[in-house]
Structure 1
Amino acid sequence: MVRPSAKVVLISAIASGQGKTTTTAALARKLVNLGKRVRVFKTGPDFIDPMMLERACGSAVHSLDLWMVGQADSERMLARAALDADVILIEGVMGLYDGNPSSADLARAFGVPVMAVLDASAMAQTVGALAMGLRDFGPVHLAGVIANRIASEGHAKMVAAAMRDIPLLGSLPRQEEFLPERHLGLVLPQEVDRIEAILDTMASSLELDMQAWDALPDNSFELHEHASHHILQHASQAAANLAGKTIAIARDAAFAFIYPANLECLLGLGAELVFFSPLADEAIPAQADALYLPGGYPELHARTLTQASNWLASLHAAHAQGMPILAECGGMMAITEGLVDQQEQSWPMAGILPGKVIMQKKLTALGSQAWVTPQGELRGHTFHYSRFETTLTASSHTIKHSTQHSTQHSTQQQGEAIYRNANVRASYFHAYFASNPAATAALFLRDAT
């Protein structure tokens, strides 16, 4: 057994909108520019923030979650990251104590100190009261605060003086250029002009107290040398596997929401992965045995998708031939008969599933859920701004995970519909494959239950 160590902090706040992702990205890029080896994780289900954080630190950003990922696999990922990283940053979700499990629960589970990001734009001394409340409510080990949207050096000094025994680790001024957002969150980094320059500017504007930062202790984690890769832990026990199978995966701006762990799980089950772009009118690769259509933004690219004749022809051919198809959220939206976008314009989609998707002005569903399969519970989440009007009857429904009870149990409250149309399985539900490799394998095999 080895005990890798690294400097680890969980970056949280009193609520969403305080600047956690901006601060985490700025800190990651600043430390990288200082020659540090930095790994970043994201608490809870998320696709978009990890893409931005990956650009900031230069390596894939995995999810940590005591329920969806599990405590053992979360700790294993931290331990493996600590083998080759000087610093590990974990961006929290919502407010520090929100949800069950919360960011605070995760910090306590692994003995990780918390660094609070507090928006000081409309206050000064009160930042100290907020910091003390965050520390004492749990309590948690509060390593310090980064004050965001600071107006001046004098403003920063007032905040620091109010912190009492809590270090002000740094401050970030109001940004002239910031990370742009839209209805699902941040704009994808590949779509942001000058994204590298923006990240570098944010990093250089972050005033970091290096003496206080360097004084933070390292965290160590147990890692058994014989332990298999965290994603592949149970793969060899899968009732079915994907050895010799090739899975085609749509990957572009319309189909961008893919957990890195999902790809690793499929590889661990023996599959070969091939990627293609429907937006570039690429056909499903000829060698594919199964098709994975992840979520993304088909509503922003509807015109292009309607004109992608090669993609559409290959999809209909694959469906007619009985190829297993898994369509998640945006993937499902793209294979319905039609989509009504946020400007209320209608677009014909692929027509594999009867019905149409209608974009909404407000969030329609959000939360952790589980799909109960013959192979056991497959965990994941849902997050969408549309509704699906269809004549299809759901073959089953996911179960919503309770935010009020034990992390080990789900409620029996009905979640997202799972639709099955011959060889197609489709839902708004995003599955985290590594939570049940056997159930995952069955989704991509012909004639699987």
Structure 2
Amino acid sequence: MDAALTDGARGPATCAAVLVAAPASGQGKTTVASALARLHARQGRRVRAFKCGPDFLDPQWLAMASGAPVHSLDLWITDEADARARLHAAACEADLIVVEGVMGLFDGEPSAADLAQRLGLPVLAVIDAGAMAGTFGALAHGLQSYRPGLPWAGVLANRVAGERHGEMLRGSLRDPAHWLGGLPRSADFGLPERHLGLVASAELDDGLARLDAAADALAATPLGQGGLAALPQVDFAAPPAAAPVPALLAGRTIAIARDAAFCFLYAANLDLLVQLGARLAFFSPLAGDALPECDALWLPGGYPELHAERLAARTDLRAALHGHVAQGRAVWAECGGMMSLFDELVDKEGRSHRLWGLLPGRTVMQPRLAGLGSQWLAIDGGLLRGHTFHYSRCETVLAPLARSARPGAKPKADAGEALYAQGPVRASYFHAWFPSDPAVTARLFDGRPLLRTSAS
């Protein structure tokens, strides 16, 4: 667990806090959560934002809006104790905590509603009201009352056509006090999407301008005009002191690819590596950076398929990677990082790109999701939790060392994501949450052979 979660005040902490949720995906949760964070951050308040469930893209927008790193909260992947500790640590230093939900409020196991109820986070419901009037009130009432005891902050309408439309929406509510306002339709603060979700914030030159436009619109609503007083105050209990993380990677340098092709990084994973004693050296394959001097390499997920031609042209990096592996130095490659290590990547247009050739075979982009959901991976006597989310398939002669499984399921030979191991290279579509097992995380980077567990 992060050092910040084990130090500092041990008593309860009180902070304004909401969980921004919706009846479904695509309603505007990220826009509203980011606008709320940006509005208060630019007024000089300390804002800490979180994302419910596994996600790499929404947190980038929340981080841009709040000016601080964004961590994930998930009752299974990160577990409840970790979530409570992170919220308490944030409440000790922040004026406002904004948690963005995932999918619809009651979708998934565990759902955003589970997180809100378990941790006492009042729900701020965002509803796309662009094609409704009176039904807005019915939907808001259903979200609030479907589960008894759900903490509630109010409802905000998105894509409101005008003043008259807003009056109709407000009038449809059983309790007008729950009306927090409405955001208009506007291209000024729309967040573009692609096959894995929102476009990364760093890819748009006007990303901050979009957030400012959304914050300006929110400032005109009752939610924005009320300041912190318009938001509920939540008491966050102090967690038990966490056991210290052993420095299993002390003295080792881990090179980490980080750019538009390799951008799926949990901030908590980076923190855990530092706690394990590692020194982190970031580099950008797309920018032409050389592989840093290192003992191990991490290639995280991202979008190698969108940059395959440029990655294929890095023959110098290809040679450096082969030299790194020839010296027995570890490589951990997740999802997009794994895709870059095979001989070939076939993009969605059917074009073949010769990539870095550390693993035999190829990956092929698909028009539909090929993997989605929470997973766990039993390896080397431990268990890593995480998730999978990809649009490509892998074709290789390699036999998996192990396979991941869904929560509660026992791994089978034909289930879950394969973990491939060849020499010091370990690769999988599985995205690991490192704090779930620091000891197994260290084993991914120490270069020694992994042991297959009896369960997998």
Q: TM-score, normalised by structure 2?
A: 0.92
Q: Where does residue 392 of structure 1 map in the other structure? A: 398
Distance across 1 between alignment mates of 2:346 and 2:232:
53
Q: Which residue of 2 aligns with 1:145?
A: 155
Q: Give the aligned partner of residue 337 of structure 1.
A: 343
Aligned positions of 1:54-73 closer than 5 A: 54-73=63-82
Q: 1:314 aligns with which of 312, 320, 341?
A: 320
Partner AA of 1:12 in structure 2? A
Where in structure 1 do 4 or more consecutive aligned residues deviate above 3 Å?
Answer: 210-213, 409-413
Residue 227 (structure 1) aligns with? 241
Measured in 1, the distance between the counterparts of 2:117 and 2:244 equals: 26
1:217 aligns with 2:232: yes
Deviates more, 1:188-197 or 1:78-87: 188-197
Counterpart residue identity of residue 437, structure 1: P
CA contact under 8 A between 2:52 and 2:99: conserved in structure 1?
yes
Corresponding residue for 1:169? Answer: 180
Shift of 1:411: 5.1
Question: How many residues align structurally?
Answer: 433
Decide whether aligned partners of structure 1 residues 86 and 212 sit closer, same or farther in structure 2, where only a CA change above 3 A counts.
Answer: closer
SS in 1 for 2:318: helix
In the alignment, what sits opposite 1:44? 53
The corresponding residue for 2:43 is 34
1:439 and 2:451 correspond = no
Residues 109-118 or 204-213, more deviating = 204-213
What are the Cα deviations for residues 15-42 of structure 1, in whole angstroms up to 9, with x where unaligned?
1111111111111111222332211100
Matched, 1:421 2:432: no
Q: Which amino acid aligns with 2:118?
A: A
Question: Residue type of the partner of 2:41?
Answer: V
Q: Which amino acid aligns with 1:371?
A: L
Q: Does 1:85 align with 2:94?
A: yes
2:197 is aligned with 1:188: no
Q: In the alignment, is the contact (CA less than 8 A) between 1:281 and 1:310 conserved in 2?
A: no
How far did 1:448 drift?
A: 4.5
Per the alignment, residue 284 of structure 1 pairs with 291
Is the contact between residue 47 and residue 97 of structure 2 (CA under 8 Å) also seen in structure 1?
A: yes
Alignment deviations for residues 188-241 of structure 1 (CA, whole Å, 9 cap, x no partner): 1111121111111111012331349614331111225x835xxxx4523xxx81
Q: CA deviation at 1:53?
A: 1.0
With over 3 angstroms needed to count, the CA separation of the structure-2 counterparts of 1:99 and 1:129, relative to structure 1, is same
Distance 1:212 1:160 in 2: 20
Secondary structure (helix, strand or coil) at the match of 2:404 reads: strand
- Counterparts of 2:183 and 2:118 in 1: how far apart (Å)? 29
Which residue identity is paired with 1:390? T
Question: Is 1:158 the equivalent of 2:153?
Answer: no
Any unmatched runs of 5+ in structure 2? 1-9, 451-456
Structure 2 residue aligned with 1:22: 31
Measured in 2, the distance between the counterparts of 1:296 and 1:54 equals 18
Residue aligned with 2:81, SS: helix
Amino acid at match of 2:323: A
Distance (whole Å) between structure 2 residues aligned to residue 158 and residue 424 of structure 1: 60
Residues of 1 paired with 2:429 and 2:416: CA distance?
A: 10
* CA deviation string 1:260-306 (max 9, x = no partner): 000000000111111111112222112x1111100010001111111
| 189-198 or 253-262, larger mean C-alpha shift | 189-198
Within 2, Cα distance between the matches of 1:186 and 1:129?
Answer: 29
Does structure 1 conserve the Cα–Cα contact (< 8 Å) formed by 2:379 and 2:402?
Answer: no
- 2:221 aligns with 208
- Measure, in 2, the Cα distance between the counterparts of 1:217 and 1:250: 40
Say if 1:245 and 1:272, in contact at 8 Å, map to a contact too: yes
CA distance in structure 2 between the partners assigned to 1:124 and 1:285 by the alignment: 58
Question: Which deviates further from its counterpart, 211-220 or 191-200?
Answer: 211-220
Instruction: Please say if residues 280 and 308 of structure 1, whose CA atoms lie closer than 8 Å, have aligned partners that are also in contact.
Output: no
Letter in 2 for 1:305: L
Assess if the C-alpha contact under 8 Å between 1:44 and 1:93 holds in 2. Answer: yes
In structure 1, give the amino acid aligned to 2:432: A
Give distance in 2, aligned partners of 1:170 and 1:39.
23
| SS of corresponding position for 1:247 | strand
Contact 2:401 2:420 in 1 (8 A): yes
Question: Partner amino acid for 2:156?
Answer: I
Pairwise CA RMSD: 1.5
CA contact (8 A) 1:167 1:212 kept: no
C-alpha contact 1:419 1:426 (8 A) present in aligned 2: yes
* Residue matched to 1:198: 210
Distance 2:67 2:265 in 1: 17
| C-alpha deviation, 1:446, in angstroms | 2.3
Query: What does residue 404 of structure 1 align with?
Result: none
**Superposed CA offset, 1:318-377 (max 9, x none):** 011111110000000001000111111110010111111100111111100000012311
Residue 412 (structure 1) shift = 4.5
Equivalent AA in structure 1 for residue 186 of structure 2: Q
Contact 1:169 1:212 in 2 (8 A): no
1:282–1:310: 8 Å Cα contact kept in structure 2? Answer: no
AA partner of residue 201 (structure 1): A
Match of 2:364 among 333, 358, 361: 358
Instruction: State the distance in 2 between where 1:42 and 1:136 align.
Output: 24
